[in-house]
Amino acid sequence: MVRANIAYDAVDLILYTHFHPDHVGELVPFLFAMKYAPGYRRTTPVMIMAAEGFDHLMLCLKKAFGQWVEPEPGKVMIEQIPREMPVAVQLPPLFIRCTPTRHTPYSLAYRIEDSHGRAVVVSGDTDFCPELIELAAGAHMLICECSAPEGAKIQGHLTPSEAGRIAREAGVKRLVLTHFYPNCDENDLVTPCAAEYDGPVFLAEDFMRLKV
Which of helix, strand or coil describes residue 188?
coil
Residue 83's pLDDT is: 78
Residue 175's pLDDT is: 98
In tens, the pLDDT along 94-112 reads: 999 999 999 999 999 999 9
pTM score, two decimals?
A: 0.95
Residue 48 near residue 80, CB atoms below 8 Å:
no
Rounded-to-integer distance, Cα 209 and Cα 212, Å: 10
Burial of residue 72, with CB atoms counted within 10 A of its CB: 0-12 exposed, 13-18 middle, 19 or more buried:
exposed
Under CATH, which number does the domain 83-212 receive? 3.60.15.10
Q: Where are the domains of the chain?
A: 1-81, 83-212
Residue 107 near residue 51, CB atoms below 8 Å:
yes
Per-residue pLDDT for the chain (212 aa), expressed as one digit of tens each?
Answer: 889 999 999 999 999 999 999 999 999 999 999 999 888 888 899 999 999 999 999 999 999 999 999 999 999 999 999 877 788 999 999 999 999 999 999 999 999 999 999 999 999 999 999 999 999 999 999 999 999 999 999 999 999 999 999 999 999 999 999 999 999 999 999 999 999 999 999 999 999 999 99
End-to-end CA distance of the chain: 21
Residue 39's pLDDT is: 80
